[in-house]
Structure 1
Amino acid sequence: MARIRKGELPSGNIRKQVFDHFEPLFDDTGRPIIDPKTGKQKKKRVYISITRSSVDEVNLAKAEVKINKASKKQPANITLREVIEKYISSSDAVLSPTTVRGYNTILNNAFVSIMDMKISKLSTETLKEAVNQEAKRMTRGKKPHRISAKTVSNEYGLIAAVLNIYAPSLDTSVKLPARNPKKHELSPPDIIFNMVKGTEIELPVLLAMWLSFSISEIKGLYKSKSISSNGDYISIVQVTVKVGKKEITKDNAKQITRHRTHRIPAYIKDLIAKVETDQLVTLSASAVSNRFKRLVLKYKIPYMTFHDLRHVNASVMTLLNIPDKYAQERGGWKTDAVMKGTYMQTFTRARVEVDDTIDNYFESLLFGTPESIDQKYKAWLLLFDMEDNSENKILYNSFMAQKERIILLLSDTESQKVQHEMQHEKKNP
Structure 2
Amino acid sequence: MIMDKLPSGSWRARVLIGENKYKTFSGKDKKDVQLRAAQFEAERKMDKPDDPYAGMTVGEAMERYVEAKKNTLSPSSYREFTRIRLSNLSALRNVKLADLTQEQVQLAISAESADHSPKTVRCMHGLLSSTLKMFRPDMTLHTKLPQTQKSEIVIPEEVDVMSLLATVRGSDIDAAVHLGALCGMRMSEILGLRWSKVDFDAKTIHICAAKVRGTNNKATMKLPKSRAGDRTIRMLPAVEAALRRAYQPGAEFVTTLTERTVRKHYQHALELCCGKHYTFHALRHYAASVMILLNIPVKYIADYLGHETEDMVNRVYGHIMRDKKDEIFARLEEYYDNVLKNPS
TM-score, scaled to structure 2: 0.72
Structure 1 match to 2:61 = 83
Query: Could you tell me which residue of structure 2 aligns to residue 278 of structure 1?
Result: 252
Does the 8 Å CA contact 1:184/1:304 hold for their aligned counterparts?
Answer: no
Higher helix fraction (1 or 2): 2
> Are the counterparts in 1 of residues 182 and 287 from structure 2 also a CA contact under 8 Å?
yes
After superposition, the Cα gap between the structure-2 partners of 1:230 and 1:296, relative to the gap in structure 1 and judged at 3 Å, is closer
Q: What corresponds to 1:234 in structure 2? A: 205
Query: Are residues 1:332 and 2:306 paired?
Result: yes
Q: Cα distance, 1:302 vs. partner?
A: 3.9
- Are 1:218 and 2:190 matched, yes or no? yes
Counterpart CA distance in 1 for 2:75 and 2:195 is: 25
Gaps of 5+ in 1: 1-17, 23-44, 48-63, 138-146, 340-380, 389-429
Cα distance change on mapping 1:117 and 1:67 into 2, 3 Å: closer
What amino acid maps onto 1:201 in structure 2? I
Structure 2 SS opposite 1:114: helix
1:122-153 deviations in Å (ceiling 9; x for gaps): 1222211111111013xxxxxxxxx2111111
Residue 34 of structure 1: aligned partner? none
Distance in 2, Cα, partners of 1:333 & 1:284: 25
Measured on the aligned residues, the alpha-carbon RMSD in Å equals 3.1
Instruction: Give ranges in structure 2 of 5+ residues lacking alignment.
Output: 1-14, 23-39, 314-318, 327-344
Equivalent residue in structure 1 for 2:148, among 179, 183, 195: 179
Q: Percent identity?
A: 26
**1:59-78 residue pairs with structure 2 within 5 A?**
68=44, 71-72=47-48, 75-78=53-56
Note the alpha carbon deviations across 1:61-115, whole angstroms, 9 max, x for none. Answer: xxx9996468535634211111111112222122232222111100111111112
Partner residue, 1:144: none
* C-alpha distance in structure 1 between counterparts of 2:17 and 2:201, whole Å: 56
Which amino acid counterpart does residue 311 of structure 1 have in structure 2?
H
Residue of structure 1 equivalent to 2:121: 152
Q: Which amino acid aligns with 2:213?
A: K
CA apart distance, 1:321: 2.4
Question: Does structure 1 residue 129 correspond to structure 2 residue 119?
Answer: no
SS of aligned partner of 2:92: coil
CA distance in 1, matches of 2:219, 2:56: 35
2-structure distance, mates of 1:46, 1:383: 47
Structure 1 residues 169 and 290, CA gap change in structure 2 (3 angstroms)? same
- State the secondary structure of the residue aligned to 1:210: helix
Instruction: Report the more deviating stretch, 180-189 or 157-166.
Output: 180-189
Task: Write the letter of the residue equivalent to 1:88.
Answer: V
Task: Please give the per-residue CA displacement for 1:351-390, whole angstroms capped at 9, x wherever unaligned.
Answer: xxxxxxxxxxxxxxxxxxxxxxxxxxxxxx986749x9xx
CA contact (8 A) 1:187 1:302 kept: no
Give the Å deviation of 1:19.
7.6
Q: Which AA in structure 2 matches 1:332?
A: G
Specify which of 283, 287, 291 is matched with residue 313 of structure 1. 287
Pairs within 5 Å for 1:338-353: none
What is the CA-CA distance between 1:286 and the residue it aligns to?
1.0
Question: In structure 2, do the counterparts of structure 1 residues 227 and 211 end up closer, same or farther at CA, with 3 Å as the change threshold?
Answer: same
- Structure 2 residue aligned with 1:265: 236
Q: 1:203 is matched with which residue: 153, 175, 182?
A: 175
Aligned length, in residue pairs: 279
C-alpha contact 1:189 1:209 (8 A) present in aligned 2? no
How far is 1:288 from its partner? 0.9
Letter in 1 for 2:277: Y
Query: Could you tell me which residue of structure 2 aligns to residue 6 of structure 1?
Result: none
Equivalent residue number for residue 163 of structure 2: 194
Closer/same/farther in 2, CA of residues 334 and 175 from structure 1, 3 Å limit: farther
Aligned to 2:26: none
Counterparts of 1:240 and 1:246, CA distance in 2? 10
C-alpha distance in 1 between matches for 2:149 and 2:180: 24
